[in-house]
Chains A and B, each alone.
Chain A
Amino acid sequence: MRIDRRMLLGGALATAFAVTASATELRGTGDLGLVVERADGALLVVDTTERRTLRRIEGLGDLSHASVVFSRDARYAFVFGRDGGLSKVDLLTGGITHRVIQAGNSIGGAISQDGRVVAVANYEPGGVRFFATSDLVPLGEIAATYGADDARSKVVGLEELPDNRFVFSLYDADEIWTATLGEDGPTVTARFEDVGTLPYDALVTPDGRHYLAGLFGEDGMALLDLWDPAAEPVRILDGYGRGEAPLPVYKMPHLKGWSVAGELVFLPAIGRHELLVVDKTSWREVARVPVHSQPVFAIARPDGRQVWINFAHPDNNVVQVVDVPSLAVVGALDLGPGVLHMEFTPKGEEVWISVRDADRIDIIDTASLERVTSLEARSPSGIFFTARAHRLGY
């Protein structure tokens, strides 16, 4: 379907045309995705089969650090902006169907297991707000209050869980909370205190069983077994820095989407130039992979055979590829400054990489590590493909 923006903006006639066009030119959404053009507050709708941009969507506010989750029909995207904006976008028409400014400053969100609720993690005011995915009507809030004076903490690492639950961490309070959303709004089901200093982000394993929060203030991570109702968070990887002073961190690692490859989990060592490799049954460190610099993302190819890593400033021009069976770095690509994000096609034959300062998306063949083609994009950051719609923790 080819509807350019002129037609969409052109009023009744254009709308009539659009409806006809979408009714006659049916297509699926399984090979579509979004690229965030963060400086412009815009999104590109991309097609990963044709390797091209279908349309550009503008008017989404401050998209620095923006992230996206997809409706379970994989037609709509929910876009979380830094400025508290939450937008529902239709990939097929390129329209913004609903948009609310739901907070002053937010960091990301999650969509419930049943696809009916989208939850947003807010820095200001600190807490989680819930909205109906149908029309973004508010469904309630959990204020992340702590301490004697009920200060509000920034919320990070918000993830959806099986049984329609959610889990998140309180950066300023060193706590992990779980919550459900019932008829009368959201309720906190568990509150764990003193989980470790400054949890900055978290991930949930693909089976929804384990929640792992990264700690900025110490060498270790907090692990919560969500299948065990009596479980408390435990510290894993304690003292991974072996007492050496950490190097400065010029960009916080993102844990959402960090790698679980088969039985192994690849984690960033904060302030160190290495990946920690952890066994998913014992949660013990089994290896370390020395890498180029401080990792920001380490993302497994969907089959778990490779892990791709990008790095913090001033080394954000490089991407490295780790071969999982041998735990060796088998490739490095210098794509130019500002490599911000990587996203695999649904079965992983290609990876799309945003190179912010080159205004480019590079599409790389993951077997040959050769560049297939590039697309233009203005200051691109996050890349999100609709295959995420059916994965827990994405």
Chain B
Amino acid sequence: MSGRTWVSCFVASALLPMVAAADPSAARQGELIHLLRHDCGSCHGLTLKGGLGPPLLPATLDGLPAEGLVAIILDGVPGKPMPPWRGLLPEGEVAWLVEQLQAGAIDVE
């Protein structure tokens, strides 16, 4: 990563109010969003509106407990194409992704 990117990441995270200690770094957040769109998106749609897997939009995830969604992502759904991501994604990053998904904080367009 170039020095300039580091600086802008630093500035970006410094400007974010109330960043929880466990939140991924700004650079890592960008990578996670890329993974969400492209690698989750191959089954859930690039815009998360659904494909072979269900939509991952706030309206469809509303009312589902965050811990349950984190568990599905970490352990997958046995017998269904939803794969386990444990080993590829640490739990803290998955929790952050679920938070973003439920809040509709990801610009998918």
Residues of A in contact with B (beta carbons under 8 Å apart): 38-39, 62, 64-65, 82-83, 105, 107, 123-124, 154, 171, 197-198, 200, 216-217, 248-252, 313-314, 338, 356
Contact = CB atoms under 8 A, between A and B. Distances in A.
Chain B contact residues: helix, strand, loop or mixed = loop
A105 B86 CA distance: 29
Contact of B79 (A39, A82, A217, A356): A217
Contact of A200 (B46, B52, B83, B88): B52
B68 interface: no
Given A313-B39, A314-B88, A124 B50 contact: yes
Given A83-B47, A250-B83, 16 more contacts: A39-B46, A62-B45, A62-B47, A64-B42, A64-B51, A82-B45, A82-B51, A105-B45, A123-B51, A124-B50, A171-B52, A198-B80, A216-B80, A248-B83, A251-B43, A313-B42
A154 B52 contact: yes
Contacts, number: 63
- Those 7 A-B pairs whose CB atoms lie nearest each other, nearest first: A64-B46, A248-B83, A313-B39, A251-B42, A250-B83, A248-B84, A216-B81
Please classify how large the interface on chain B is, using the bins under 10, 10 to 19, 20 to 34, 35 or more: 20 to 34
Contact of B41 (A64, A154, A197): A64
Interface of B: 37-39, 41-43, 45-47, 49-52, 76, 79-81, 83-84, 88
A197 B45 CA distance: 23
A252 B50 contact: no
The binding surface of chain A is classed by DSSP as loop
11 contacts: A64-B42, A64-B51, A82-B45, A105-B51, A154-B52, A171-B52, A248-B84, A251-B43, A252-B43, A313-B42, A356-B38
